[in-house]
Amino acid sequence: MFDEITSNFQVSVDLVIDKVKSWVDTFVSMLPNFVVATLVMLATALVAKLIRRFVYKVMRRITKNEAINRLTSTVAVMVVFAFGFFIALRILNLDKTVTSLLAGLGIVGLALGFAFKDIAANFIAGIYLAIKSPINMNDIIKYQDAHGAVKKIGLRATTVKTFQGQDVIIPNRLIVQEKYTHYSINGERRVDLDVGVSYGDDLEKVEEVALTAIKKLSNLKKVKPVDLYFKEFGDSAIVFTVRYWVIYSPHNFLEYLAALSQGIKNIKKAFDENDITITFPIRTIDFGIKGGKSLADIMAQNHDQQHTKTDSK
């Protein structure tokens, strides 16, 4: 019995020794491959460092977004390292093992992609916005109810500070996919101003006076026409629209508001000087409706009641 146990133990020890010897033999035979693979990784690290600097300089010429510049250079470094890593694994004859591992990681990555597709879409849209630059810092845009200046263009979202002082965060994919209004591209903008005048005013005179008043604006774009159109018969006024173009800084919305305000002032002053009436809403109260009493009857009844009280005294 003891001899059998000793024999089995010896067999196990021999197996371990043989396995260790095979590892040592493999290591010795693969030692040149390890050396070459190590040199490949060192060369890869050097090339990656040079690639990082080169890509960063190129990206700074394309976009001023530092987050995108750093991200792009980092991605370039990762690609170089992955390339060098696979070469090293090929030298060590481990490429098939890693291929199987990557296949498994690919399935996991696919599942994560479905779970975080909106985040990925915002991320890709952020890169597009940084490279194509359809909007830039301090540009005036309007997306749905958010109207203000662009304060930050990130990888995930764009921040707009409204003219009321609130920060509105808009996911980048919505800016790329949906409609928004950009007010800072041309450096000019048209002002549409509605005015109502009395039915008794001479419309030819109204048109002449209004156009002359608007043409006195200091920031009026002279090459663009000033248009005036009578548009409707209102309840208490004839309404017209005067349209004019103004020059303003692409990043200063207050200049547009100032041009609108000055246009109102000029028209009001000119109309006052020419006896043209700017009307206000008028409501007529009719006491003579069916089933009621006319205003004259009510006043007469009140008058009789007052006389009756006086006589009784």
What is the band of 100 on the pLDDT scale with cuts at 50, 70, 90?
low
Whether the model pTM is above 0.85:
no
pLDDT for position 133:
78
Q: Tell which CATH classification among 1.10.760.10, 2.40.110.10, 2.30.30.60, 3.10.105.10 matches the domain 133-182.
A: 2.30.30.60
105-157 pLDDT tens trace: 666 566 656 656 777 888 888 878 877 778 888 899 999 888 999 998 887 88
Q: How far is CA 206 from the centre of its chain?
A: 42
Residue 159 · residue 167 · CB < 8 Å: yes
39-86 pLDDT tens trace: 888 999 999 999 988 988 888 887 776 767 777 888 888 889 888 888
Q: CA-based angle 99:111:175, to the nearest 5?
A: 115
Q: Which CATH number is associated with domain 188-273?
A: 3.30.70.100
Domain edges within the chain? 2-115, 133-182, 188-273
Three-state SS string across the chain, please? CHHHHHHHHHHHHHHHHHHHHHHHHHHHHHHHHHHHHHHHHHHHHHHHHHHHHHHHHHHHHHCCCHHHHHHHHHHHHHHHHHHHHHHHHHHCCCHHHHHHHHHHHHHHHHHHHHHCHHHHHHHHHHHHHHHHCCCCCCCEEEECCEEEEEEEECCCEEEEEECCCCEEEEEHHHHHHCCCEECCCCCEEEEEEEEEECCCCCHHHHHHHHHHHHCCCCCECCCCCCEEEEEEECCCCEEEEEEEEEECCCCCHHHHHHHHHHHHHHHHHHHHHCCCCECCCCCCCCCCCCCCCCHHHHHHHHHHHHHHHHHHC
Distance CA 138, CA 104 (A): 46
pLDDT for position 204:
94
Residue 135 · residue 158 · CB < 8 Å: yes
**Range in 192-201, 241-250, 300-309 the model is least confident about:** 300-309
pLDDT for position 78:
86
Tell me the backbone φ, ψ of residue 99, rounded to 5 degrees. Answer: -60, -40
Distance CA 58, CA 248 (A): 33
**Range in 17-26, 239-248, 252-261, 304-313 the model is least confident about:** 304-313
What is the band of 260 on the pLDDT scale with cuts at 50, 70, 90?
very high
Distance CA 234, CA 210 (A): 19
Distance CA 185, CA 175 (A): 16
State whether CATH 1.10.287 applies to domain 2-115: yes
Structure-block tokens of residue 24: 């040592």
Tell me the backbone φ, ψ of residue 189, rounded to 5 degrees. Answer: -155, 145
Residue partners of 196: CB distance under 8 A and separation at least 6:
234, 236, 237, 238, 239, 240, 278, 279
Residue 246 Rama label (left phi>0; alpha psi -120 to 50; beta): beta
272-299 pLDDT tens trace: 999 998 887 665 555 555 445 555 666 6
